[in-house]
Chain A
């Protein structure tokens, strides 16, 4: 595992575990997970469907409680990009931006300009979010995530957001303009992972392992998917 000096550590995860209590004997999705993320670290979370990638991102983002262990952030973190659970559906896009401007103590007009410019929702920003398509919600969530400067961005399957042009725009905003920020990214897209990440956590069958060689992790994940 990569070692950081204490001041370089932006996230410390200790003995983390998650079990969905479907039954008394339900196996853990993962457990005893320990890792740190540096302030400019780019961590991929890899795993086949159902292994716990999105759960991990949600726990890190505070949207889901772990069954055991601790998540200790020492840097500001985004909510999971692509996750729009924080929106109030009865409020319009504009009102959701206003609400988050208050929560994060940002200037509303400035934030609104950034979100509107990025999400390209135009007049749809005046509609209640519950009438948005999933793509529109994701654009709004993505736009808000980028409009508020975070030290670390949590990304759950970037490819799910928008068309090819919009994805290109997301990639540029995230990985080029915010090259010095930390990322934790759950993804099946090995090209992007190989290009932008420098470590990977693979979750499989209740076990998780950290790999400091991203290409080795991709090899292993590719084999797991094919097996």
Chain B
């Protein structure tokens, strides 16, 4: 009996997702393999009785299963098309749409760096490792229900994050302790109150490497010292900067952090102590990929 194999396929959000699943189903039938969902696969025990094409559900599952696979394939699309597919899938949930797209894209970048085959979803056919030729039926494109500006994820455009690339993260990607009154302008945050997080986010996945965030803000401590804390990282591993500012003005802070696995990266800004007076206004934030 010949050795069975497992080939994982991670699809980026795409309007051609169904066409690819049909194509992979045809290839599996031709080869006498199984086509299974990642959630139905157990990595415990012996090799499967039948070779498998495994449809990986998301980035986390793909990264967890990748070491156990014989080959891995990333089916991708131009960033604009991924964002359009996400807008259709998550209408009126912009941050969720970005977060899901980023999670897949960061995993795809990681898999590609580890040698996964990367194929374009728009191709009529593709030659996949261990599987061979897969034919993709043309499908009628469904117009997306909404629009998602790809700019906050533009580090993933083309070949993926390149050192020196800088991406702007607008104010409305962040979560504020109080709901901003305006949807078109950054909130004016009254610092009066307890020590607390002022805003945080966006928790978009970024692949391994050295990443810098730069935040510009306007502060008016109204003549007192304003203790602020800035954190950049994920989960419980953050680079931290603490400042005591006592003059009104426009400030810029930078934090650089390296991580070895894709993480849902987050910038957190805190009032580090109770404030009696003062105001804080978000001006801009950008994130830059510095090095692999």
Contacts and interface: CB of A to CB of B under 8 A. Distances in A.
A200 B264 CA distance: 40
B194 A209 contact: no
A207 B276 CA distance: 9
Contacts of B277: 204, 207, 209
Given A202-B276, A204-B276, A220 B194 contact: yes
Contacts of A227: 224-225
Nearest to A209: B192
Given A205-B223, A227-B225, A216 B276 contact: no
A224 interface: yes
Interface residues of A, number: 12
Contact of A220 (B223, B225, B276): B276
Interface residues of B, number: 13
Nearest to B275: A220
Contacts of B43: none
A222 interface: yes
Contacts of A223: 273-276
A224 B273 CA distance: 10
A193 to B, nearest CB: 15
Q: Which of B194, B222, B225, B276 has the most CB of A within 10 A?
A: B276
Contacts of B222: 207
Contacts of A209: 192, 276-277
A209 B275 CA distance: 11
A219 interface: yes
Q: Which of A202, A205, A216, A220 has the most CB of B within 10 A?
A: A220
B195 interface: yes
Contacts of B249: none
Contacts, number: 32
Interface of B is mostly: loop
B193 interface: yes
Contacts of B192: 209, 220
Interface in B230-288: 273-277
Interface in B207-238: 222-225
Contact of A219 (B194, B223, B224, B225): B194
A216 B223 contact: no
B289 to A, nearest CB: 39
B193 A216 contact: yes
A202 B274 CA distance: 13
A220 B224 CA distance: 13
B243 to A, nearest CB: 15
Contacts of A224: 274, 276
Contacts of B223: 205
A204 B225 CA distance: 13
Contacts of A216: 193-194, 274
B38 to A, nearest CB: 47
A227 B274 CA distance: 10
Interface string A196-227: 00000010110101000000100110111001
B159 to A, nearest CB: 50
Contacts of A220: 192-194, 274-276
A222 B274 contact: yes
Interface in A109-153: none
Contacts of A222: 274
Interface string A93-104: 000000000000
A202 to B, nearest CB: 6
A202 B194 CA distance: 14
Contacts of B193: 216, 220
Q: Which of B194, B195, B222, B224 has the most CB of A within 10 A?
A: B194
B37 to A, nearest CB: 49
A19 to B, nearest CB: 18
B277 to A, nearest CB: 6
Given A205-B223, A227-B225, A219 B276 contact: no
Which 7 A-B pairs have CB atoms at the shortest separation, nearest pair first? A223-B274, A220-B274, A219-B274, A219-B194, A223-B273, A216-B194, A204-B276
Interface of B: 192-195, 222-225, 273-277
Interface of A: 202, 204-205, 207, 209, 216, 219-220, 222-224, 227
Given A205-B223, A223-B273, 10 more contacts: A205-B224, A207-B222, A207-B276, A207-B277, A209-B276, A220-B193, A220-B274, A220-B275, A223-B276, A224-B276
6 contacts: A204-B277, A207-B222, A209-B277, A216-B193, A219-B194, A224-B274
